Structure formats: structure tokens, C-alpha cells
Structure 1
Amino acid sequence: MRTLLVAALLLAFGVAAQAASKHCKFRVHIEANPHDGGTFAQPIRTLSGRDVHIEKTAWLSERDVKAYYPYRAADGSYGA
């Protein structure tokens, strides 16, 4: 699930961040414990309909990423 979330976020922000001179915001939030409370965890419903909690604080941001290389796979999807 986390790998899928990271891949989706990379794809979503990859198009906007291809030019080195442009700045983009990049945030990766990981799944949290539902018992962490509203201060640390935010409940969301995923596209599949599953209810999960994510951490409010970003696990990764654009400061953690030095570079990436997006590519198109043979099936037409994208990866990074």
C-alpha cells in the first residue's frame, strides 16, 4: 500500500517537476495508527473505499529528494 501511494504521488507530481528550474511541492504521508488521535492522524477514505488514517506530518518532502527520473513503461503507465 505504501509503495503504491509513493508511486502515485511521484507520478502526480512528476509532470510538474520535470524542469529543473521549476519548484514543486512534494509530500508523502504514510499510514498511521488510528489510535494516535486527531493531533497526529487524519482519517481518509481511499479510492478503493477502504478507511485508513494517515500521518498529518509528511514522511518525505521535496527537501528529501535530490533528483528523480520519470519513465514510461511498455504498458503506457509511468514510473520513477
Structure 2
Amino acid sequence: MAEIRLRVRDAGGEDSTFHLDTADPLQEVMHAFAERTDQPQGVLRFTYRGDRLLSTSTPHELGMQDDDLIEAATTSGE
């Protein structure tokens, strides 16, 4: 499959860019974002077009395109 570039925006409005294969699970991006922002992955919620993302979903399954935006927010102990 092809490589895709995705943006993850934190609650402060700052974007981070990640590259992965469209067949790879989004877990890779979620883990990398958590490390980059020095936050435990368990306290982060990732959404795409308003829907919460599963770590096992792939960009291909979701029809993602280059530069699509994933939003990351800190959960409050859900």
C-alpha cells in the first residue's frame, strides 16, 4: 500500500505530522504522538471527523487522504 501523511492536532491547536503506510494501524501514530507530547497514551482520545478512532483502524479503512487531521484531546479519567 501507499504511504500517507497525517496531522494530529493537540488541544492547544498545534499540529504534529506523521507518516505511515495506509495499511498500518493508527496505533503507530497514537503511540508516536503520546511519546512526542510526553503524555501517557491512555489519557489521550483521538478523533477523526468527530468519531473516536480505534487503535486497530487503518487509514485505508477510514478513507484517509494526505494531510487529513486527527484531533487529540486529554480524557478526564473516563
Same fold (TM over 0.5): no
Normalised by the size of structure 1, how large is the TM-score?
Answer: 0.28
Q: Which has the larger radius of gyration?
A: 1
> How high is the TM-score relative to the length of structure 2?
0.28
Bigger relative CO (Cα 8 Å, ≥ 6 apart): 2
